[in-house]
């Protein structure tokens, strides 16, 4: 070992810079893993420290309707025993700024009591939250002022009541920035809620009660009243439950990002293997000389393996430092998703794990080409051809063992980093399939250029194509590196584009871009007249009737949960549904079982309903089942006539259950009106007119929703792209490293060509031909794999239709080809410009 250490140090002197370039790609992979895993640990610690602040209380009870008298009795009893009680009623409503005339759908939150019990709500000006009670004033999200072009001191109309904007809420427990983009909040005192006259029949509202209790009293209280809360569909959340949910959700996000970082690490390992392969070819003579001097096989292998391990530790150490820096930046990148402040601290266990994984990856990928040194014969010093082909066959068992270790390492890392085992195994399979496809592509390129060599092409083209299969070529390494990077980034782009496309508004003249909802029966005709006065014709009028299931095939809902013959979801059976009735299917629906009611119902036949397929699976419903509904106290028995597949991503009213006409027309109901107006100013004025006439009616400009969704999806992909940059950087490092590793041979080629009379321009075009072939094939393979992966994600994971963005993918292909060519030409500039004498001197050195 002392001899091996001494020789490893001496032998590394001439190759440290070159191998360090490849090990920098390992550094990028280690940096990605250290940053993500340290960030995940920071998030877990922050959630644990801020759990009470996030919930604002020790216990939260939620319901979609006002708490019944029996539940109110329990809550009052607990409050009288000394437990502080606060209430928050939240619902969507239109807000109108009196000064500017602008309107916006907002999330109104009426607060009563001392909420929050833990943490504080920060306002500007300070101290406004404590004085909100007893004031006809509101506090708003900053986004509300932007949307309404309003300012503090302006008047805001909500329903039939007007409030002064006292200030803005700058920070609140559990605040997530993305929520403000979808539904900016407006806070008011609950004592003025009735004056708004907004909570009418059919209004969607959520009623919350918050308690401050000793830790051991929370679970006892829930256990004592669990059956009562289940009967009335009242859900609860405790500090422990919220901590567990947040940790799980944010941990999954971090683990998905970690998988992206794992690809960067694998690319780094690939770069190490390619570099060491070229390094080994140059060291075969030195290894043979060591054998002549008496060194054993294992000693020769140890000398060079120690170099790879040492440089791997150096590269992993640099990656750890970079990962710590990135870790500090991640809270800002992911700030839109985080409901808490993440404190950044060093995670020594993660740092040590990153060092081990980085150095282990470098050693494992270096070991495969290093095995050739183990079989070098001492006779190679005299006859080099004697060693050709003997080494690889003799080392085959060792190579198989290394391949097995690589596979086990890939599966183990993917399983460790993935949020679920199945995701880790699927990731490992995807990496193997992609690697195999790229490897076959590279090998196919080498074989094809030899088989169908363009002998009639110009000399420059022939020479450039021949470089693809010359000895010590880097075709496989470059195609794998560039192809992997293109595959990853393009897959992210394809999925993002497809998801956004699902929410894109139809630009045809007959498609709606404006929706009004919560319209009462006696208001629909008046609203139609308001629309007509503005020159807008209602495109669709949809009734909505709330109802609950009470029996299925004559059995009460409560008894079905214990039925083991069919798998049923209690939530699906007990929730309140908002149903509709019509005589036709709409464009977002497709019948998959049963038949539609094209003919009139026969006398004595039960009314027919159509059920969405996923609800039918959750509730255990089949075609022909009898379902009894409670429609505002009136029982209505129906028969399941069909099952439908619904595209929920379409911007139109979609329903879980559709009744046939002639059943619900006389039931209490509200309406949704769809309309279209080309002029955005006219749409804003129309919303203002409806809000002034009927404050309870809410409206949405679907183009605004589209822009909001685009922004949300863009922020979601920003985090993934941030980590994907490590993979891109790794691919570029491997590309540059491949050119550096073959620099000596390029110097020889340039020297020979220039000695024979070739000009610098001819040499440049020869290299350019090689780079273009590399880039075009690698990019094409990556783009094709990305298209296949995008199709699989959209159709299998999201269960949505997929459209291949052919033109953008073509642009990606051309751009990557240009990038590879530019990097290659820039890196070979010194070789091309050098004179034969200068190249001779460099070669002799």
CB proximity list for 470: less than 8 A, separation 6 or greater? 745
1-36 per-position pLDDT tens digit: 676 677 666 666 666 666 666 667 678 778 878 888
Spatial separation of the C-alpha atoms in residues 666 and 396, rounded to whole Å: 81
| Measured CA angle at 774 (ends 771, 780), to 5 deg | 130
Higher pLDDT, 113 or 794: 113
516 within 8 A of 698, measured Cβ to Cβ: yes
Question: 64: closest CA among 186, 204, 187, 194?
Answer: 204
Cα–Cα separations (whole angstroms), residue 351 to 408, 412, 424, 475, 729:
22, 18, 22, 34, 21
Higher pLDDT, 234 or 398: 234
116 upstream amide cis, omega within 30 of 0: yes
Share of the chain above pLDDT 90, in %: 19
Higher pLDDT, 455 or 390: 455
Does the pLDDT value for residue 435 go beyond 60?
Answer: yes
Predicted structure pTM score: 0.68
Domain boundaries, the chain: 1-50+250-419, 84-211, 431-507+705-845, 514-704
- The listed range with the strongest mean pLDDT (136-150, 470-484, 759-773) is 136-150
Question: 628: closest CA among 545, 556, 563?
Answer: 556
555-586 per-position pLDDT tens digit: 888 777 666 556 677 778 888 899 999 999 98
CB proximity list for 335: less than 8 A, separation 6 or greater? 177
The pLDDT, as a whole number, for residue 386 is 47
12 within 8 A of 306, measured Cβ to Cβ: no
Share of the chain above pLDDT 70, in %: 81
CB proximity list for 692: less than 8 A, separation 6 or greater? 96
DSSP 259-296: HHHHHHHHHHHHHHHHHHHHHHHHHHHHHHHHHHTT--
752-799 per-position pLDDT tens digit: 777 777 787 888 888 888 888 888 888 888 888 888 888 887 777 666
284-315 per-position pLDDT tens digit: 777 777 778 777 777 777 877 887 777 778 88
Does the pLDDT value for residue 234 go beyond 80?
Answer: yes
Q: Which helix (H) or strand (E) holds 209?
A: strand 205-211
726 within 8 A of 121, measured Cβ to Cβ: no
Q: How many of the other CB atoms lie within 10 Å of CB of 49? A: 13
Quote the mean pLDDT of the chain.
81
Say which range, 68-82, 356-370, 383-397, 574-588, has the weakest mean pLDDT: 383-397
CB proximity list for 266: less than 8 A, separation 6 or greater? 29, 361, 410, 431, 484
697 within 8 A of 530, measured Cβ to Cβ: no
The pLDDT, as a whole number, for residue 606 is 93
- Phi then psi for residue 23, to 5 deg, are -70, -20
- Phi then psi for residue 303, to 5 deg, are -55, -50
Determine the longest span between alpha carbons in the chain, in angstroms: 105
530 within 8 A of 690, measured Cβ to Cβ: yes
The residues with which 51 forms a beta bridge, in sequence order, are: none
Q: How far is CA 60 from the centre of its chain?
A: 29
Does the pLDDT value for residue 670 go beyond 60?
Answer: yes
Does the pLDDT value for residue 834 go beyond 80?
Answer: no
pLDDT band at residue 90 using 50, 70 and 90 as cut-offs: very high
The pLDDT, as a whole number, for residue 390 is 43
Query: Running DSSP on this structure, what letter comes out for residue 68?
Result: P
Does the pLDDT value for residue 643 go beyond 70?
Answer: yes
Does the pLDDT value for residue 503 go beyond 80?
Answer: no
Spatial separation of the C-alpha atoms in residues 120 and 173, rounded to whole Å: 7
The pLDDT, as a whole number, for residue 290 is 77
Does the pLDDT value for residue 734 go beyond 80?
Answer: no
Q: Which two tokens stand for residue 454?
A: 């363009």
DSSP 97-136: ETTT--EEEEEEEEEESS--SSS--EEESTTTTTT-TTSS
Spatial separation of the C-alpha atoms in residues 357 and 713, rounded to whole Å: 33
Spatial separation of the C-alpha atoms in residues 431 and 425, rounded to whole Å: 10
The length of the chain in residues reads 845
pLDDT band at residue 212 using 50, 70 and 90 as cut-offs: very high
192-204 per-position pLDDT tens digit: 999 998 887 777 8
Spatial separation of the C-alpha atoms in residues 795 and 791, rounded to whole Å: 6
- Give the burial class of 698: count Cβ atoms within 10 A of its Cβ; 0-12 exposed, 13-18 middle, 19 or more buried: buried
């Amino acid at each position: 070992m002392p001899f091996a250490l001494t020789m490893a140090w001496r032998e590394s002197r001439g190759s440290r810079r070159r191998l360090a370039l490849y090990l920098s790609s390992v550094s990028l992979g280690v940096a990605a893993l250290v940053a993500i895993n340290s960030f995940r640990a920071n998030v877990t610690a922050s959630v644990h420290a801020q759990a009470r602040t996030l919930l604002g209380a020790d216990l939260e009870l939620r319901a979609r309707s006002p708490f019944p008298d029996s539940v109110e009795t329990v809550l009052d009893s607990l409050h009288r025993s000394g437990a502080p009680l606060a209430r928050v009623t939240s619902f969507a409503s239109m807000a109108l700024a009196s000064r500017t005339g602008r309107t916006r759908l907002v999330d109104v939150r009426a607060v009563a009591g001392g909420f929050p019990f833990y943490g504080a709500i920060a306002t500007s000006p300070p101290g406004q939250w404590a004085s909100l009670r007893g004031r006809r004033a509101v506090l708003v999200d900053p986004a509300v002022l932007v949307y309404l072009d309003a300012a503090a001191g302006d008047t805001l109309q909500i329903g039939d009541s007007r409030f002064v904007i006292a200030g803005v809420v700058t920070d609140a427990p559990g605040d997530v920035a993305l929520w403000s983009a979808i539904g900016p909040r407006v806070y008011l005192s609950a004592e003025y809620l009735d004056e708004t006259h907004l909570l009418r029949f059919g209004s969607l509202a959520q009623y919350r009660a918050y308690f401050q209790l000793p830790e051991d009293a929370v679970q006892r209280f829930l256990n004592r009243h669990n059956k009562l809360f289940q009967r009335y569909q009242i859900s609860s959340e405790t500090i422990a439950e919220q901590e567990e949910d947040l940790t799980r959700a944010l941990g999954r996000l971090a683990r998905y990002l970690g998988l992206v970082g794992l690809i960067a690490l694998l690319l780094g390992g690939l770069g190490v293997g390619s570099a060491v392969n070229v390094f080994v070819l140059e060291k075969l003579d030195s290894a043979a000389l060591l054998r002549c001097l008496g060194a054993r096989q294992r000693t020769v292998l140890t000398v060079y393996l120690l170099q790879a391990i040492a440089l791997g530790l150096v590269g992993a150490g640099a990656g750890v430092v970079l990962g710590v820096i990135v870790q500090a930046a991640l809270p800002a990148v992911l700030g839109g998703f985080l409901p808490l402040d993440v404190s950044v601290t060093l995670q020594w266990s993660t740092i040590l794990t990153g060092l081990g994984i980085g150095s282990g990856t470098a050693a494992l990928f270096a070991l495969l080409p290093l095995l050739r040194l183990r079989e070098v014969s001492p006779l190679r010093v005299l006859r080099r051809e004697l060693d050709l082909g003997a080494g690889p066959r003799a080392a085959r068992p060792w190579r198989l063992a290394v391949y097995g270790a690589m596979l086990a390492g890939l599966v183990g890392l993917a399983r460790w980093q993935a949020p679920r085992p199945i995701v880790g195994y699927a990731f490992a399979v995807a990496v193997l399939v992609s690697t195999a496809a790229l490897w076959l592509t590279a090998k196919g390129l080498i074989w094809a250029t030899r088989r169908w060599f363009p002998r009639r092409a110009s000399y420059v083209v022939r020479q450039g194509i021949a470089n693809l299969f010359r000895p010590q070529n880097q075709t496989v390494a470059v195609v794998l590196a560039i192809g992997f990077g293109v595959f990853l980034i393009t897959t992210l782009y394809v999925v993002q584009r497809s998801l956004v496309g699902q929410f894109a508004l139809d630009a045809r003249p007959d498609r709606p871009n404006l929706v009004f909802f919560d319209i009462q029966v006696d208001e629909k005709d008046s609203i139609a007249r308001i629309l007509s006065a503005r020159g807008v014709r209602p495109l669709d009028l949809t009734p909505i009737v709330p109802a609950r299931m009470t029996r299925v095939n004559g059995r009460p809902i409560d008894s079905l949960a214990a039925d083991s013959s069919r798998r049923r979801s209690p939530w699906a059976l007990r929730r309140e549904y908002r149903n509709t009735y019509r005589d036709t299917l709409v464009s977002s629906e497709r019948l998959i079982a049963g038949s539609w009611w094209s003919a009139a119902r026969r006398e004595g036949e039960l009314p027919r309903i159509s059920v969405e397929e996923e609800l039918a699976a959750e509730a255990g419903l089949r075609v022909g089942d009898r379902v009894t509904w409670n429609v505002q106290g009136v029982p209505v028995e129906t028969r399941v006539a069909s099952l439908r597949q619904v595209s929920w991503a379409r911007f139109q009213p979609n329903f879980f259950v559709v009744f046939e006409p002639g059943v619900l027309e006389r039931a209490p109901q509200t309406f949704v009106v769809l309309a279209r107006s080309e002029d955005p100013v006219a749409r804003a004025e129309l919303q203002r007119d409806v809000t002034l006439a009927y404050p309870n009616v809410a409206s949405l400009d679907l183009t605004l929703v589209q822009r909001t969704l685009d922004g949300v999806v863009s922020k979601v992909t920003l985090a993934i792209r941030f980590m994907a940059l490590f993979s891109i950087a790794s691919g570029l490092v491997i590309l540059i490293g491949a050119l550096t590793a073959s620099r000596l041979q390029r110097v020889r080629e340039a020297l020979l060509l220039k000695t024979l009379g070739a000009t610098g321009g001819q040499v440049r075009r020869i290299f350019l031909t090689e780079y273009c072939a590399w880039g075009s094939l690698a990019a094409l393979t990556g783009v094709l794999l990305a298209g296949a992966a995008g199709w699989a994600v959209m159709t299998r994971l999201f269960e949505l239709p997929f459209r291949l963005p052919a033109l953008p993918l073509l642009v990606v292909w051309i751009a990557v080809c240009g990038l590879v060519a530019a990097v290659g030409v820039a890196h070979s500039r010194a070789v091309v410009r050098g004179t034969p004498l200068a190249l001779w001197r460099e070669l002799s050195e």
